[in-house]
């Protein structure tokens, strides 16, 4: 049996070519893609073939298409024209990445969708970053490590802070976040891959799920469930490495840390910092978290005069050199 068919119909051949190229970059998408510039050609094709997803420009859309053997129709709107309420539609004129996420979102919300499971080359590598000191450099270190690792492997960054501030720091508005992924993992796991494709963003080569808007969304998740959530997300997205920027907001933070291949803890020299670290390490000993202690690497980040101006640039410069050296020394890179 061949791949399910995605058909794209638009009067502009160049637009079709760009859209096909966009989808072909996503090598694991489960579709065979066909393009049409004429409605008549599309009609003849549909008479002989079952189409899983039809993406069609607004001027070419006809209600008669609903009678064809097409599982899902998505109209690319070109203006403020009205369409019937039952017709799914998105704005045609959007940046390529936004358009792709919108298509994945709308298709993934439908029924009878084509199964989509990405493949990893090996077992997922989990890198945990956690410090009882709660220093702001933890996220900087996590992102720098993620951006460096992403140059070698498909890497995902997950943030578990109460308030990440990412929308402000990145100057982006997120239409979905970690909370949506948690819902789909629980209630519509067969659609999780499409939901990931519609939500995941990038900083350079590093993928990340926009952090939850409220830390309270984490509090009802049972301790033993977190590891299956993280590995399930990695499986659904085909990620080879996941960087976990952890806090105590995760019930079962020690379960996740215990599953990590390598753990990074940032430390400081002042008396209060040393006291907090000592209490944390005593707890690990008392609770018999020997594996966490053995896999933990403690680093004191030296003063750096010129840190990158934006989060997207943490993969280069003095900080990246420092983090990259640590990753190599620890056998992570």
Residues 164, 297 share a domain:
yes
Residues 185, 87 share a domain:
no
Residues 149, 288 share a domain:
yes
pLDDT of residue 114: 79
Residues 81, 134 share a domain:
no
pLDDT of residue 118: 67
In a domain? residue 113 = no
Strand ranges for the chain from DSSP E = 5-9, 32-36, 51-57, 70-77, 88-91, 125-129, 155-159, 201-203, 206-208, 241-245, 262-266, 296-299
Residues 96, 141 share a domain:
no
For the domain that residue 76 is a member of, what is the CATH number? 3.40.50.10850
Residues 295, 168 share a domain:
yes
Among all chains, which residue has been given the structure tokens 């049972």?
222
In a domain? residue 284 = yes
Helix 96-108 crosses helix 192-199 at what angle (to 10 degrees)? 150
In a domain? residue 116 = no
- The domain total for the chain is 2
Residues 177, 101 share a domain:
no
What is the residue range of 173's domain? 125-329
pLDDT of residue 273: 92
pLDDT of residue 68: 84
In a domain? residue 115 = no
pLDDT in 10s for each residue of the chain, 333 residues: 578 899 999 999 999 999 999 988 887 788 899 999 999 999 999 989 999 999 999 999 998 888 888 989 999 998 766 788 888 899 999 888 889 999 998 888 888 787 776 666 678 999 999 999 987 689 999 999 999 999 999 999 999 988 888 888 888 889 899 999 999 999 998 899 999 999 999 999 999 999 998 888 888 898 889 999 999 999 999 999 999 999 988 888 999 999 999 999 999 989 999 999 999 999 999 999 999 999 999 999 988 877 777 788 888 888 999 999 999 999 998
In a domain? residue 142 = yes
Residues 51, 180 share a domain:
no
Q: Which residues have a Cβ under 8 Å from the Cβ of 209 and sit 6 or more positions away?
A: 156, 157, 158, 177, 178, 181, 196, 199, 200, 201, 233
Residues 139, 35 share a domain:
no
Residues 138, 57 share a domain:
no
Residues 146, 77 share a domain:
no
* Sheet of strand 155-159, all strands in order from the earlier edge strand to the far edge: 201-203, 206-208, 155-159, 241-245, 125-129, 262-266, 296-299
Rounded Cα–Cα distance for residues 148 and 313 (Å):
11
pTM: 0.88
Residues 297, 157 share a domain:
yes
In a domain? residue 117 = no
Q: Which residues have a Cβ under 8 Å from the Cβ of 317 and sit 6 or more positions away?
A: 306, 307, 308
In a domain? residue 118 = no
Nearest to 144 by CA among 323, 307, 300, 326: 323
In a domain? residue 21 = yes
For the domain that residue 268 is a member of, what is the CATH number? 3.40.50.300
Rounded Cα–Cα distance for residues 97 and 22 (Å):
8
């Amino acid at each position: 049996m061949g791949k399910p068919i995605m058909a794209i119909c638009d009067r502009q051949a160049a637009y079709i070519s760009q859209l096909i190229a966009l989808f072909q970059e996503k090598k694991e998408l489960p579709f065979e893609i066909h393009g049409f510039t004429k409605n008549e050609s599309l009609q003849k094709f549909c008479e002989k073939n079952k189409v899983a997803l039809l993406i069609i420009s607004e001027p070419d859309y006809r209600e008669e298409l609903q009678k064809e053997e097409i599982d899902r129709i998505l109209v690319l709107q070109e203006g403020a024209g009205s369409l019937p309420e039952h017709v799914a539609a998105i704005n045609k004129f959007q940046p390529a990445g936004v358009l792709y996420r919108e298509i994945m979102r709308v298709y993934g919300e439908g029924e009878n969708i084509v199964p989509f499971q990405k493949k990893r080359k090996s077992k997922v590598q989990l890198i945990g970053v956690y410090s009882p000191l709660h220093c702001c450099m933890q996220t900087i270190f996590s992102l720098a490590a993620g951006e460096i690792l992403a140059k070698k492997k498909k890497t995902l960054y997950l943030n578990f802070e109460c308030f990440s501030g990412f929308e402000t720091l990145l100057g982006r508005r997120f239409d979905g976040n970690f909370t949506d992924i948690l819902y789909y993992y629980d209630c519509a796991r067969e659609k999780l891959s499409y939901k990931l494709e519609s939500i995941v963003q990038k900083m350079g080569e590093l993928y990340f799920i926009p952090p939850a808007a409220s830390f309270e969304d984490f509090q009802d998740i049972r301790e033993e469930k977190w590891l299956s959530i993280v590995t399930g997300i990695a499986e659904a997205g085909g990620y080879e490495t996941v960087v976990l920027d952890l806090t105590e907001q995760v019930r079962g933070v020690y379960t996740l840390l215990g599953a990590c291949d390598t753990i990074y803890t940032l430390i400081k020299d002042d008396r209060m910092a040393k006291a907090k670290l000592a209490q944390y390490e005593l707890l690990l000993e008392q609770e018999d978290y020997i594996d966490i202690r053995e896999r933990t690497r403690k680093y004191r980040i030296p003063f750096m005069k010129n840190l990158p101006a934006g989060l997207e640039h943490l993969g280069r410069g003095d900080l990246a050199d420092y983090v990259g050296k640590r990753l190599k020394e620890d056998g992570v890179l």
